[in-house]
A and B are shown apart, each in its own frame.
Chain A
Amino acid sequence: MHHHYIDRFSYQDSPIHNLDPRAKILAVLAYSILLISYPRYTLPAPWFVVFPAALLLWGRIPLRFVFKHILLVSPFIFCMVIFTVLFDKTPVAVGRHVVPGGWLTAASVLTRFALGMGALIGLVSTTRFADLLKGLEKLRVPHLLVSQLRFLYRYLFLLIDQVMHLRQARQARDAGLGPRAQRWRSSAGMIGTLFVRTLDQAERTHLAMLARGYDGTIRLAHPLHWRKADSLFILLTLVYLVFARWG
């Protein structure tokens, strides 16, 4: 159950992939909190590069993919950063130079964004989604929410395919031309059709799951178990983080 578009690398094999998802989730959370704990005009310490780089390189995630993805999700941050540069002209002393504060904030926010995204991609690309959810469940995220996430993920593949079909069919009918009002109406009809098909699909799939003995709990083929390596990973990460932030 995976989609080349969504989780391309989480089925590889590496020391990072083999870690317990709980260990990885906690480590990335701790890293993110310390990363955003810096004040506005301060760049994070260079040591903060080590954690995401270790996750990504050790997990054998292609860096090209990572950079492309970071760029893809960055537009909102870029807008915000441009506004700070425009508005914040407070002089800040950096060594012997005086720099407008906006530029410092911009550099700091962009660095944190790239590093934080790197760590998050490192977490998600090295963990199968089912394992990630199991980890969240074990970390006391409410059961109803986790089962929501599980179903959302499960059906997303089916529905993305449906949308591709609907889009292709419309493209075949109007070739992207035609009056705008008509296209709006057809878009609304497509969403409505998708909704009705979703209801039917949900019913069929749910019946099929019940027929196979679904009772609300998901049993993984490989249940999670915490090993010494996981404890070691958490310990090393914490020591490293304390050193990077305050050392």
Chain B
Amino acid sequence: MLAMHMGNELLSPAVAVVCLLLAGMVLMFASWRAKRQIDPMKVPLMGVLGAFVFAAQMINFPILPGASGHLGGGVLLAVLLGPHAATLVMASILIIQCLIFQDGGLLSLGANIINLGVIPCYLGYALFRALAGPIPTMRRLYVAIFVASLFGMVAGAALVPVQVWFSGILTIPFSKFLALMVGLHILVALGEAFITFAVIVFVSRVRPQAFDLPIADAVYRQGVLSYRAIAASLLVVALLLGGVVSLTASTAPDALESRTTIAENPDNSVVRENTSPMMEKVTRLQEQTAPLPDYSWDSLGQWLGTSTSGIIGTLLTLLAVWQIGRFLRLKRRSI
């Protein structure tokens, strides 16, 4: 949904080469397994499905007025083709994106194949299989796709800060970068899950022989995402965002971070502190007005407090967004 392709210049040569080697090994394993599973005549079909994901990314889904998202494709391919072939297809998509559209660099291809191809396909597929069961019903199918998209995409995105940290080119604090990437991709995965589910249900109804997954009759008959399922997914995402992200965004530097801080700034000098009068004014204003000052209640433990405030804050934000959305819709009706 977002062009989160890593560029050459964010990686050091060592990290880039290690990632390229790893990705190459996984691709060799995948093509070995895929060759055994897939009829050689069907190899072109895999390339065609790559083109399909590429083209499907041009179909936009309206999210908010002015903002739209599109399919990522890793989990969809894994469900349709199995993890080995799906990884190969995702890798070919990423290579084409690099060569033709220059999205991501040549040397960072290894990192991108791992983050956006290998992890979503293998991890997503494992979760999907574990949760969907032998003959998935509507609800199980949806839950399986939702969990697979969520963990597959988030785990891949979480590797970006790790690779960047090992390269040592950027000096963004590790925990903040991680929180940002994970938070963003929890949102992205929500959209990805909706789209993947809708497409799989559509295909299983119009072309059931297209993939070898047996699906319960209920899917053929109704096959529509209920509002309850949407609401439940939104709630899960909100809780995750609030809990996980606010926890990692806590002010104390973690182990990884303090290592870089000390290396760069041995005496922890004042240079890192921000003392502009504007910042002080904003901080004071925030302290006076915020209902949850500094994201923690002193009475509770620091750990629990941060996380709870985060969840409450997210719920409030969600409520506000929902109200704004309702307001906008009312306004449009009245015109």
Contact = CB atoms under 8 A, between A and B. Distances in A.
Interface in B124-176: 164, 168-173, 176
A147 interface: yes
Contacts of B50: 148, 151-152
A183 B106 CA distance: 37
A148 B47 contact: yes
B107 A124 contact: no
Nearest to A29: B106
B48 A151 contact: yes
Interface string A19-52: 0000000001100110111001000000000000
A28 B55 contact: no
B203 interface: yes
Contact of A188 (B3, B16, B198, B207): B198
Interface stretch (A54-62, A197-205, A228-236): A197-205
B34 interface: yes
Candidate in B8, B11, B71, B195 with the most chain A CB atoms within 10 angstroms: B8
Interface residues of A, number: 80
Contacts of A117: 102, 105
A119 B96 CA distance: 16
B52 interface: yes
A53 interface: no
B271 A84 contact: no
B240 interface: no
A190 B43 CA distance: 25
A105 B59 CA distance: 37
A148 B89 contact: yes
Given A101-B171, A120-B105, A145-B92, A75 B7 contact: no
B171 A90 contact: yes
Interface in A114-163: 116-117, 120-121, 124, 129, 132, 142, 144-145, 147-156, 158-160, 162-163
A112 B198 contact: no
A201 B44 CA distance: 11
Interface in B39-57: 40-41, 43-52, 54-56
Summarize B's interface: helix, strand, loop or mixed.
Answer: helix
A167 B203 CA distance: 19
B188 to A, nearest CB: 13
A196 B3 CA distance: 26
Interface string B90-121: 01110110111111011100000000000000
Contacts of A147: 43-44, 47
Interface string B198-217: 11001100110010000000
Contacts of A209: 44
Categorize the interface residue count of chain B.
35 or more
B66 interface: no
Interface string B244-275: 00000000000000000000110000011010
A36 B8 contact: yes
A224 interface: no
Given A124-B99, A153-B96, A187-B59, A196 B203 contact: yes
Summarize A's interface: helix, strand, loop or mixed.
Answer: helix
A192 B10 CA distance: 37
B198 A142 contact: no
Interface string A183-218: 111011111111110110110011001000000100
Candidate in B9, B199, B207 with the most chain A CB atoms within 10 angstroms: B9
Candidate in B56, B89, B176 with the most chain A CB atoms within 10 angstroms: B56
A113 B177 CA distance: 20
B65 to A, nearest CB: 10
B58 A184 contact: no
Contacts of B61: 183-184, 187
B185 interface: no
A95 B96 CA distance: 43
A112 B89 contact: no
A76 interface: yes
A135 to B, nearest CB: 11
B171 A105 contact: yes
B284 interface: no
A90 B272 CA distance: 7
Contact of B101 (A73, A116, A158): A73
B13 interface: yes
15 contacts: A37-B12, A90-B264, A91-B271, A105-B169, A113-B9, A124-B102, A129-B99, A151-B51, A152-B50, A159-B52, A194-B52, A195-B52, A198-B55, A202-B48, A216-B40
Interface of B: 2-13, 16, 27-28, 31, 34-35, 40-41, 43-52, 54-56, 58-62, 71, 88-89, 91-93, 95-96, 98-103, 105-107, 164, 168-173, 176-177, 194-195, 198-199, 202-203, 206-207, 210, 224, 264-265, 271-272, 274
Given A40-B171, A154-B47, A198-B49, 10 more contacts: A73-B102, A83-B177, A84-B170, A105-B169, A142-B31, A145-B88, A148-B50, A153-B100, A198-B51, A202-B45
Interface of A: 6-7, 28-29, 32-33, 35-37, 40, 69-70, 73, 75-77, 80, 83-84, 87-91, 101-102, 105, 108-109, 112-113, 116-117, 120-121, 124, 129, 132, 142, 144-145, 147-156, 158-160, 162-163, 166-167, 180, 183-185, 187-196, 198-199, 201-202, 205-206, 209, 216
